[in-house]
Structure 1
Amino acid sequence: MITTTGLTKVYESRGRQVTALDGVDLHVREGEVFGVIGQSGAGKSSLIRCVNLLERPTSGTVTVDGTDLTALAGRGRRANKDLRRARSRIGMVFQHFNLLSSRTVKDNVELPLEILGVSGADRSRRALELLDLVGLADKARAYPGQLSGGQKQRVGIARALAGNPKVLLSDEATSALDPETTRSILQLLRDLNRQLGLTVLLITHEMDVVKQICDSAALMKKGRVVESGTVAELLATPGSELAHELFPVTGDASGPGSTVLDVTFHGEAATQPVISQLSRTYNIDISILGAAMDTVGGRQIGRMRIELPGPYEENVVPIGFLREQGLQAELVAPDADADAGAGAGADADADAEADADADVQEKAAVPAQNAPKLVKEIAK
């Protein structure tokens, strides 16, 4: 449904170039919820704005529902008729809602249809249908200032659905909300995905978002996609950064000469007493150093760090037993947590530099995204 190939975006600022996207290849299948995760400055916002060409890519292609949007863009700064028509099938939900405070809730939802020239009666009918769909039928005549943050985002979602889109883009839609409201908005997005057959591409910096609703995910760093796939595939991939971030486990060996493993449970194995079976079968004492278990996509998935007595060579058979049960077992090198901490420090420095670049990008290329700007962005 969404494919980017070799996508790059370079901003010019004060005589220097800032690369926000560096050859991004991404494939989002029809009907799935796909999450793009990364720290500030990773290029997530630039990516999602390039998908609907609110930002024009420096190079590369963007294809949505079989249409190459970059081929429709033309040379002018404003969108032509063909690009506007293609965009009408792509809804977008913003982080800070971007509602017009002078319009009622119903009028905000009608805005995209008004720009597209839909008649007043049809606009009104569609807006009321959508407000009912997002649970705000009783707020049609209210104004944004009278709503809570979660209600404002529901209005934003209803507005994004006004043109019957096949694709819904979510730009950090829950980052300004409290945890309980975040859960309700994510559940709404998942319900819409299932009821309407929507393909949802969302960007976030929160792992809980990926856990709750994503079928697939991609990790971005410094303008590049460094890892992507279905959540199940990522959890089954040895050394997956996303898997480790989704289910972080730590714990140090009790002493030298033991074997420490990170074991990933998914599928039927997640509900079986595999560790106790291992202990009884081989008559060994097993220490659990850390564990993380959660439900992802309706399935229990988790990771556990365990310690087996003796060196690796003495534990080849027990490790083989774990793998025969459908578990992923990775050997943890000594001082792995210390090495990870050192790496995190280096990453923090890199993220700080990326954050500075992100600020430059926003100031240079994306002026303040306040509510009145919404009209211009939809009409581009």
Structure 2
Amino acid sequence: MNEPCPAAPSAVHSTVTETPVITTTGLTKVYRSRGREVTALDGVDLHVREGEVYGVVGQSGAGKSTLIRCVNLLERPTSGTVSVAGQDLTALAGRGPGAGSALRKARTGIGMVFQHFNLLSSRTVRDNVELPLEILGVSGKERTRKALELLDLVGLSDKAKAHPAQLSGGQKQRVGIARALAGDPKVLLSDEATSALDPETTRSILQLLRDLNRQLGLTVLLITHEMDVVKTICDSAALMRGGRIVESGTVADLLATPGSELARQLFPVGGELPGIDRTVVDVTFHGEAATQPVISQLARTYNIDISILGAAMDTVGGRQVGRMRIELPGPFEENVVPIGFLREQGLQVEVADGAEEAAHRGTGDAVLTKEGAK
């Protein structure tokens, strides 16, 4: 079933600023059961800037779901702090009088979208969207006006009187997004919101999230195990493993960082590593360099045969980005100058088997280092 297109965004677009909206410091979560301890989060420091879409990616058990549930204090962290929009939520989660009401009030500024929709089957679509407003004590007439406005925003104005059982998976998730926006939040959390959807519907929901980010100025923190989600809509990303963030940064910076594990996973290029008399090089293209015939120029300039072992090209953040694995004849020491040529063209270059670092350690200044070639 084709999903409805989201409402066209207004002329107002959000911009990413350097102001952090979500900050976690030393966040730790330890579960205790039957005398055993399981550490789900191990000192997580996270900084999500205002107006950006930030993706946290990792395999099952990495701690992603625990992290996002700690951000709105659905899970109480064992130690560390969580601040959202300048408020220390961990301080609001105390045991004293009024602590619970203060935390509930702060949570109205944080919307949450769930993997399995969590809609009430006995309520209509409009009633599901109205539910948070009902809890907040908003009058019936105002609740209805707001719910219909939000359903129009997510492209479901014609489904207000339908029940969840009558909707497709993508439509249910749109209702979940509309409900999450009912309190006019500045932050939207997405917990694997597309993992239960087919690829076409996933693209539709991701485009909706990006449109809402731009139109409403939302800061979006999403968790996923799918690299395509990060590639499609994220400004920044973090890789989690074993309850820790092992790599983070803007997607553009990660792609430009030699040795970035996230970059390799976003753009896997394959190809076998070299034998003794060959040099395999991973090249990252972005910006203007992505449209230039650099590899053919290299072959002509140095009269060498170049084998392309693998390549991947896509659009990230409106820019063409690609990675290519090429093989040059001869060991690394014979390819220092051609590799330097590639770097002079504004490309990020990494020797696939680490031969560059080994050669540099052995010959000192005789080898062109990564830093010197940039």
Normalised to the residue count of structure 1, the TM-score between the two structures is: 0.86
Residues 316 and 254 of structure 1, relative CA distance in 2, 3 Å threshold? closer
| Letter in structure 2 aligned against 1:91 | G
What residue is the counterpart of 1:298 in the other structure?
318
| Letter in structure 2 aligned against 1:149 | G
Shift of 1:252: 2.2
1:6 aligns with 2:26: yes
Which one of the candidate residues 49, 74, 93 is aligned to 1:54?
74
Provide the rounded CA distance (Å) in 2 between the counterparts of 1:234 and 1:252.
23
Residues 216 and 307 of structure 1, relative CA distance in 2, 3 Å threshold? same
1:329 aligns with 2:357: no
Question: SS of 2:115's equivalent?
Answer: coil
Shift of 1:281: 1.0
Query: 1:10-68: per-residue Cα shift (whole Å, max 9, x none)?
Result: 11112111100000000000000000000000000000000000000000000001110
Q: How does 1:292-371 map to 2 (within 5 A)?
A: 292-333=312-353
Query: 1:78-128: per-residue Cα shift (whole Å, max 9, x none)?
Result: 961111110000000000000000000000000001001111111000000
Provide the rounded CA distance (Å) in 1 between the counterparts of 2:209 and 2:219.
10
What residue is the counterpart of 2:56 in the other structure?
36
What residue is the counterpart of 2:287 in the other structure?
267
What residue is the counterpart of 2:132 in the other structure?
112
Which one of the candidate residues 126, 134, 137 is aligned to 2:154?
134
Question: SS of 1:301's equivalent?
Answer: strand
What residue is the counterpart of 2:186 in the other structure?
166
| Letter in structure 2 aligned against 1:320 | G
Shift of 1:258: 1.2
Shift of 1:75: 2.2
Question: SS of 1:99's equivalent?
Answer: coil
Higher helix share: 1
What residue is the counterpart of 2:228 in the other structure?
208
Higher relative contact order (CA 8 A, sep 6+): 1
Residues 187 and 20 of structure 1, relative CA distance in 2, 3 Å threshold? same
What residue is the counterpart of 1:101 in the other structure?
121
Provide the rounded CA distance (Å) in 2 between the counterparts of 1:138 and 1:99.
18
Residues 223 and 251 of structure 1, relative CA distance in 2, 3 Å threshold? same
Question: SS of 1:10's equivalent?
Answer: strand
Question: SS of 2:161's equivalent?
Answer: coil
| Letter in structure 2 aligned against 1:87 | R
Query: 1:174-227: per-residue Cα shift (whole Å, max 9, x none)?
Result: 000000000000000000000000000000000000000000000000000000
**Stretches (4+) displaced over 4 A:** 76-79
Q: Is the 8 A contact 2:273 2:353 kept in 1?
A: no
Question: SS of 2:42's equivalent?
Answer: strand
What residue is the counterpart of 1:344 in the other structure?
none
Residues 16 and 76 of structure 1, relative CA distance in 2, 3 Å threshold? farther
Provide the rounded CA distance (Å) in 2 between the counterparts of 1:49 and 1:250.
36
What residue is the counterpart of 1:355 in the other structure?
none
Shift of 1:334: 8.2
Provide the rounded CA distance (Å) in 1 between the counterparts of 2:303 and 2:310.
21
Q: How does 1:236-247 map to 2 (within 5 A)?
A: 236-247=256-267
Provide the rounded CA distance (Å) in 2 between the counterparts of 1:111 and 1:295.
38
Question: SS of 2:197's equivalent?
Answer: coil
1:66 aligns with 2:86: yes
Shift of 1:239: 0.8
Query: 1:207-264: per-residue Cα shift (whole Å, max 9, x none)?
Result: 0000000000000000000000000110111111100000111212575301110111
Q: Is the 8 A contact 2:274 2:280 kept in 1?
A: no
What residue is the counterpart of 1:356 in the other structure?
none
What residue is the counterpart of 1:82 in the other structure?
102
Residues 129 and 215 of structure 1, relative CA distance in 2, 3 Å threshold? same
Provide the rounded CA distance (Å) in 1 between the counterparts of 2:60 and 2:98.
28
Residues 76 and 177 of structure 1, relative CA distance in 2, 3 Å threshold? farther
Q: How does 1:274-289 map to 2 (within 5 A)?
A: 274-289=294-309
Provide the rounded CA distance (Å) in 1 between the counterparts of 2:56 and 2:225.
8
Provide the rounded CA distance (Å) in 1 between the counterparts of 2:255 and 2:276.
29
Question: SS of 1:80's equivalent?
Answer: helix
Q: Which moved further from structure 2: 288-297 or 326-335?
A: 326-335
Provide the rounded CA distance (Å) in 2 between the counterparts of 1:147 and 1:160.
18
Q: Is the 8 A contact 2:23 2:84 kept in 1?
A: yes
Residues 77 and 103 of structure 1, relative CA distance in 2, 3 Å threshold? farther
Which one of the candidate residues 25, 40, 54 is aligned to 2:45?
25
Provide the rounded CA distance (Å) in 2 between the counterparts of 1:137 and 1:226.
43
Provide the rounded CA distance (Å) in 2 between the counterparts of 1:77 and 1:188.
40
What residue is the counterpart of 1:16 in the other structure?
36
Aligned pairs, number: 335
Q: Is the 8 A contact 2:306 2:328 kept in 1?
A: yes
Provide the rounded CA distance (Å) in 2 between the counterparts of 1:247 and 1:14.
43
Q: How does 1:169-188 map to 2 (within 5 A)?
A: 169-188=189-208
